[in-house]
Structure 1
Amino acid sequence: MEERTVIIVDDEPGHRLMVRAVLEDDGWTVLDADSGERALTVLAEAAEADVRPGVALVDMKMPGMDGMQLLKELQIRRPGMPVVLLTAFGSVGSAVDAMKKGAFDYLTKPADNDELTAVMGKAFEYHKLVRENARLKAEVSGDVKFIGASPGVERVRQLMAQAGPTEATVLILGQSGTGKELVAEGLHRASNRADRPLIKVNCAALPDDLLESELFGYEKGAFTGAVKDKPGRFQLADGGTLFLDEIGEMPAALQAKLLRALQEKTVEPLGSVKTVKVDVRIIAATNRDLKKEVAAGRFREDLYYRLAVLEIRIPPLCERKEDLPLLVSFLLRRLGNKNNKIIRTVTPAFLDALSGYDWPGNVRELENVLERALILSRSDALGTDLLPPQITGAREANQNMSLDMNGEMPDLLTSRSQATPASLEEAERLAILRALEENGNHRERTAEALGISRRTLQYKLKKFGLTRR
């Protein structure tokens, strides 16, 4: 629940109670805390009851964790939640600096009642707008989170949560089809630049000369065919994020120019003698081992260290096969909506075949295989007859190997008859049970581990009769 809920963080009891009374009279549900540390505990306890404040009202000066430190922590834990600061008249300059770092607004103490209700109302409207934009983007993209509960996926989500609200340059590493672009989009959405453009460039898809003009732009007459000025991707991304996909494919000469742009925060369009200042956050991705590329002399060492302030490695699907039930369930629902076709059941042999395959194309290949099976199916169930030979062949090879070693066949979910269909709901139920156990039945952490919202988890627990846990 987020409707008109606020958390007040102020170490002065009298002022905190006064503000609370004003906001409650204005229709707000109010939580409060006397310190930054206590505020984080209150937020965690509220989340257990499915209550998440839409706005935070935070005093700048408090013992222990002060307002600026709490602002940074809230940007990580609750990205998109506006923070309004309370400050003494003589510290207005500090509050203005805080707004440059992401605070929504500030009020001087003691807060004027009318100004207080007006600013808090604007903050909550902004919060609703941010959430609605995020929802619409999620509907358009079809997915905003990593699906899975494996340790590797959880590590990716943790790093995204830590790096997203910062200005740090991030290097995303992973095989093709693992979801590097999805991570870049998540980092941008979690940043203070989320309302600015996310511009994407695939460095492997453009010839060298075209890549340079696309990145830095050009002036009229710079080369044959340049009939007018054209801004580059750096300029288009000004104030936002520039995602350089497959950065390992960038030619050496262009690497030097990119390094200069990163160091000086300026670009020089082709055919121009003037430099243009740009404010851009860089996120890069590659399926190459850039350390080996540096050692081989194919990638600049200074550029590598400039890009790899933080590295996020996405595990290939073959390293997280325990996520297959959740991925299959999620993808089949999405593909079913796309193709106007509902799949309710998959056979145990179908899931076992998926588990026995190494997925060199990763999640992208899995999605293609599932869409093919869905289109070819004549019922609401999927069996191995709908899988391509390379997958069923891998399953048979694994069966023979397993029988030779220990006389029994491995199973993706649980022991079951090969003649009995296993529903997608069963796969989800077992995955949720495992995630609950691994997270000590803590629902907030379980939802995060599964890559779903707490409200969705609550629905599924009720659906599967697991609410007593």
Structure 2
Amino acid sequence: MMKRILIVDDEKNIRLSLSNFLKVEGYETIESEDGEEAIKLLDREDIDIVILDLFMPGLDGMEALKIMKQRHENIPVIMLTAHGNTERAVQAIKHGAYDFLDKPPNTDKMLVAIYNALDMKQLREEKNELESLSYGKEKLIGESTLMKELYQQIERVAPLNTRVLIVGESGTGKELVALAIHKKSKRKERRFIKVNCAAIPSELFESEFFGHEKGSFTGAISKKIGKFEKADGGTLFLDEVGDIPLHLQPKILRAIQYGEIQRIGSDKEIYVDVRIIAATNRDLQKAVSENKFREDLFYRLNVFPISVPPLREHKEDILPLTNHFVNQIAVENNFKSPSIDDSAINALMNYDYPGNIRELRNILERVLILSSSETISDSHITSVIGIKHDDEHYGDDLKGKVLSTEKKVIEETLEKYNWNISKAAKHLGLERSHLYKKMNKLNIKRQR
């Protein structure tokens, strides 16, 4: 893939000569005449390296360099100056410049500097990816029967190119499952590109996935490489896949089915070799029946479904998860790691975690911040979780009466369906996770 170089210089002839020379050498170039515009371009476009003039009107090269390194630490910057100022060169290097060349630059030295800078950038990216694929701060933890079944599914599907659909509630660790599959696959040395489909504005979806050509729409001042191209040879993880707009789904389907994409503003077909792993906390089959998700796309994604269990269904893993999180949080915040007594574990086991593993970690982090004790007990846990006691009176005002009525309706519905959560939630018109939250809030428990 052609590397993109941002050339920043207030002298038009310098920009033009450098741009023409680098294009001949096989690079794609973008030009900017001042530091402020260059920073905006760097924020918006995919840039591999910056060539930056030191002395410019307005925001000069040194100030622009500082901002660039704060926002885009891994993008190398080569500084140019006609002044040969050694002191300024040393200062620029201290602020993160990769190299410093006199103007007009010697073409051989320029090419060597660019080659070495790009090589260093690639090594850093590979290192960062390897660190992230070792799960960084998080990893799959648990030895329960459900977790062992999950590990077996990962081992079975990882070596294949089969598409995987990971389903589960928020906070269960769906991304970690996707990472584990990639790490154990034949593509493990290539890129793992994550797309949070729920976080992309509707009008930017197509550009984010497929990229665009310069001038293809207002604001497209240079070419952009989309997620499918970036993931070529590796894995593309579509998180919250149920949030892909319906009008874009046919293009996603074609890209998955034929391995072909088109950038916005181009008629050229680009072939990509990408493994798709998708994840959702939605009921996609229900979305299909409601015409909110394409049936053909659902079947393309759902070749090998993996269900990640909610924490309340494998509570035996709360103890190892708690030990892991407490030690992790203590290290991150320079705390002394406290011990966890049995009463604290029992309190944790008696909670149902509508937010799942993510909520467990958040609870433990709050407990460690609020407590200075060397031992965590049940009182520390319940003060954070806010567990209420039986026979709680909600008051005689309107709010209290509403809560009392809501509790009574939920309890009666649960009894009607023999405490089958799924059937009760459906009858009440709630998601299962929402019903669990209400049951916890209202202290609704089945009497044994």
Q: Normalising by structure 2, report the TM-score.
A: 0.57
Superposition deviation, residue 297 in structure 1? 1.1
Identify the range of structure 1 (381-390 vs 206-215) with the bigger mean alpha-carbon deviation.
Answer: 381-390
Partner of 1:267: 261
Partner of 1:251: 245
Counterpart selection for 1:155 from 119, 135, 149:
149
Superposition deviation, residue 263 in structure 1? 1.1
1:349 and 1:383 in contact (8 A); partners too = yes
Partner of 1:186: 180
Number of matched residues?
266
Counterpart selection for 1:141 from 136, 141, 145:
136
2:308 corresponds to 1:314: yes
Partner of 2:95: none
Partner of 1:328: 322
1:343 and 1:382 in contact (8 A); partners too = no
In 2: Cα distance, 1:186 partner to 1:140 partner: 8
Partner of 2:279: 285
1:220 and 1:227 in contact (8 A); partners too = yes
- Aligned to 1:204, what secondary structure does the other structure show? helix
Using a 3 Å threshold, how does the CA distance of structure 1 residues 384 and 288 change in structure 2: closer, same or farther? same
1:200 and 1:245 in contact (8 A); partners too = yes
Q: Which has the higher contact order (CA 8 A, sep 6+)?
A: 1
Deviation string 1:345-364 (CA, Å, 9 cap, x unpaired) is: 22332212211111011100
Superposition deviation, residue 148 in structure 1? 1.0
Superposition deviation, residue 134 in structure 1? 9.3
- Aligned to 1:299, what secondary structure does the other structure show? coil
Q: Normalising by structure 1, report the TM-score.
A: 0.54
2:346 and 2:378 in contact (8 A); partners too = no
Counterpart selection for 2:331 from 330, 337, 343:
337
1:353 and 1:391 in contact (8 A); partners too = no
Using a 3 Å threshold, how does the CA distance of structure 1 residues 210 and 135 change in structure 2: closer, same or farther? closer
Partner of 2:381: 387
In 1: Cα distance, 2:222 partner to 2:382 partner: 50
Identify the range of structure 1 (252-261 vs 344-353) with the bigger mean alpha-carbon deviation.
Answer: 344-353
In 1: Cα distance, 2:390 partner to 2:200 partner: 41
Partner of 1:242: 236
1:353 and 1:392 in contact (8 A); partners too = no
In 2: Cα distance, 1:373 partner to 1:310 partner: 39
Uncovered stretches (5+) of structure 2, i.e. residues with no partner:
1-126, 392-448
In 1: Cα distance, 2:135 partner to 2:248 partner: 34
Counterpart selection for 1:198 from 192, 196, 199:
192
- Aligned to 1:222, what secondary structure does the other structure show? coil
Summarize the alignment of residues 156-235 of structure 1 with structure 2, pairs less than 5 Å apart: 156-235=150-229
In 2: Cα distance, 1:139 partner to 1:180 partner: 15
Letter in structure 2 aligned against 1:271: G
Superposition deviation, residue 383 in structure 1? 2.3
2:361 corresponds to 1:377: no
Superposition deviation, residue 392 in structure 1? 4.3
Identify the range of structure 1 (336-345 vs 321-330) with the bigger mean alpha-carbon deviation.
Answer: 336-345
In 1: Cα distance, 2:133 partner to 2:381 partner: 30
In 2: Cα distance, 1:304 partner to 1:138 partner: 27
In 2: Cα distance, 1:281 partner to 1:311 partner: 15
2:135 and 2:176 in contact (8 A); partners too = no
Percent sequence identity over matched residues? 47
Superposition deviation, residue 165 in structure 1? 0.9
Partner of 1:50: none
Superposition deviation, residue 137 in structure 1? 4.3
2:347 and 2:382 in contact (8 A); partners too = no
In 2: Cα distance, 1:163 partner to 1:355 partner: 32
Using a 3 Å threshold, how does the CA distance of structure 1 residues 298 and 390 change in structure 2: closer, same or farther? farther
Provide runs of 4+ in structure 1 moved above 4 Å.
132-140
In 2: Cα distance, 1:263 partner to 1:139 partner: 30
Deviation string 1:137-167 (CA, Å, 9 cap, x unpaired) is: 46671233x2112221111111000111110
2:294 corresponds to 1:294: no
2:363 and 2:384 in contact (8 A); partners too = no
Using a 3 Å threshold, how does the CA distance of structure 1 residues 211 and 388 change in structure 2: closer, same or farther? farther
In 1: Cα distance, 2:164 partner to 2:288 partner: 18
